[in-house]
Chain A
Amino acid sequence: MSELLGLENLRKVFPVRAAAGEPAGELVAVDDVSFTLPPGGSLAVVGESGSGKTTVARMVAGLETPTSGRITLDGEPREAARAGRGARKARARQIQMVFQDPYTSLDAKQTIEAAIEELLRAHFDWDADRRRERVAQLLAQVGLDKRQGGARPRALSGGQRQRAAIARALALEPRLLILDEAVAALDVSVQAQIINLLADLRAETGVAYLFISHDLGVVRQISDDCVVMHRGRVVEAGRTTTVLDDPQDPYTRRLLSAVPRPGWVPRRRATSGASA
Chain B
Amino acid sequence: MNSWLNPPGADPLVRVSHLRLDIPVRGEPRRVLHDVSFEVGAGEALGLVGESGSGKSMTTRVLMRLLPHGAATDGDVLFDGTSVTGMDRRALRRYRSSEVAMIYQDPRAAINPVSTVGAFLTEALREAKVSRKEAEERAVALLREVGITDAPRRMRQYPHQLSGGLLQRVMIASAMLTKPRLLIADEPTTALDVTTQEEVMAILDEQRRERGLALVFITHDLDLAAAVTDRIAVMYAGTVLETAASANLHETALHPYTVGLLASRPSTVDVKRLWAIPGRPVSAFEAGPGCVFADRCPFAQDRCGTERPALRTVDDHQVACHRAEELRGRITYETGGDADRAHDEQTEPV
A49 neighbours in B (Cβ, 8 Å): 193
Given contact pairs A217-B267, A258-B197, enumerate 7 new A-B contacts (beta carbons under 8 Å): A157-B280, A193-B278, A193-B340, A196-B335, A261-B268, A269-B199, A276-B163
As a 0/1 sequence over residues 307 to 350 of chain B, the CB contacts with chain A under 8 angstroms (1 = contact) are 00000000000000000000000000001001011001101011
Cβ of B79 to closest chain A Cβ, rounded Å = 28
Cβ of B45 to closest chain A Cβ, rounded Å = 13
Which of A99-107, A129-137, A143-151 lies on the face that meets chain B? A143-151
Q: Does B134 contact A (CB under 8 A)?
A: no
Q: Are B341 and A143 in contact (CB under 8 A)?
A: yes
Q: Are A143 and B269 in contact (CB under 8 A)?
A: no
Name the CB-closest residue of B to A216: B268
Q: Are A214 and B193 in contact (CB under 8 A)?
A: yes
Name the CB-closest residue of B to A50: B193
Cβ of A255 to closest chain B Cβ, rounded Å = 7
Query: Which of B169, B338, B341 is most buried by chain A, counting CB atoms within 10 A of its CB?
Result: B341
Q: Are B224 and A260 in contact (CB under 8 A)?
A: yes
Count A-B contacts at CB 8 Å. Answer: 157
A276 neighbours in B (Cβ, 8 Å): 161-163, 166
Interface residues in A, total, Cβ within 8 A? 55
- Residue numbers of B with Cβ under 8 A of A are 51-52, 143, 147-150, 154, 161-163, 166, 169, 193-195, 197-199, 201-203, 205-206, 220-221, 223-224, 226-228, 249-250, 260-261, 263-271, 273-278, 280-281, 296, 335, 338, 340-341, 344-345, 347, 349-350
Contact of A196 among B206, B223, B265, B340 (CB under 8 A): B340
Q: Are A196 and B274 in contact (CB under 8 A)?
A: yes
In the assembled complex, the Cα of A227 lies from the Cα of B301 at a distance in Å of: 47
As a 0/1 sequence over residues 206 to 221 of chain A, the CB contacts with chain B under 8 angstroms (1 = contact) are 0000000011111011
Q: Are A48 and B193 in contact (CB under 8 A)?
A: yes
Q: Are B223 and A264 in contact (CB under 8 A)?
A: yes
Q: Are A254 and B227 in contact (CB under 8 A)?
A: no
- Residue numbers of A with Cβ under 8 A of B are 48-49, 143-145, 148, 151, 155-160, 187-193, 195-197, 199, 214-218, 220-221, 241, 244-245, 254-269, 272-276
Q: Are A256 and B51 in contact (CB under 8 A)?
A: no
Q: Are A220 and B267 in contact (CB under 8 A)?
A: yes
Q: Are A188 and B264 in contact (CB under 8 A)?
A: yes
Q: Are A220 and B268 in contact (CB under 8 A)?
A: yes
In the assembled complex, the Cα of A188 lies from the Cα of B51 at a distance in Å of: 7
Q: Are B147 and A273 in contact (CB under 8 A)?
A: yes
In the assembled complex, the Cα of A144 lies from the Cα of B340 at a distance in Å of: 11
Q: Are A268 and B345 in contact (CB under 8 A)?
A: no
A160 neighbours in B (Cβ, 8 Å): 280, 344, 349
Given contacts A262-B226, A273-B149, A276-B163, contact A190 B280 (CB under 8 A): yes
In the assembled complex, the Cα of A80 lies from the Cα of B227 at a distance in Å of: 52
Q: Are B345 and A187 in contact (CB under 8 A)?
A: no
In the assembled complex, the Cα of A256 lies from the Cα of B51 at a distance in Å of: 24
Q: Are A268 and B268 in contact (CB under 8 A)?
A: no
B201 neighbours in A (Cβ, 8 Å): 266
Q: Are A275 and B163 in contact (CB under 8 A)?
A: yes
Q: Are A268 and B271 in contact (CB under 8 A)?
A: no
B206 neighbours in A (Cβ, 8 Å): 268
Q: Are B268 and A267 in contact (CB under 8 A)?
A: no
B349 neighbours in A (Cβ, 8 Å): 148, 151, 155-157, 160
Name the CB-closest residue of A to B275: A192
Q: Are A260 and B223 in contact (CB under 8 A)?
A: yes
- The list of the 9 closest CB pairs from A to B, nearest first, reads A143-B341, A273-B148, A192-B264, A217-B266, A266-B201, A272-B149, A260-B224, A187-B51, A266-B202
B223 neighbours in A (Cβ, 8 Å): 260-262, 264
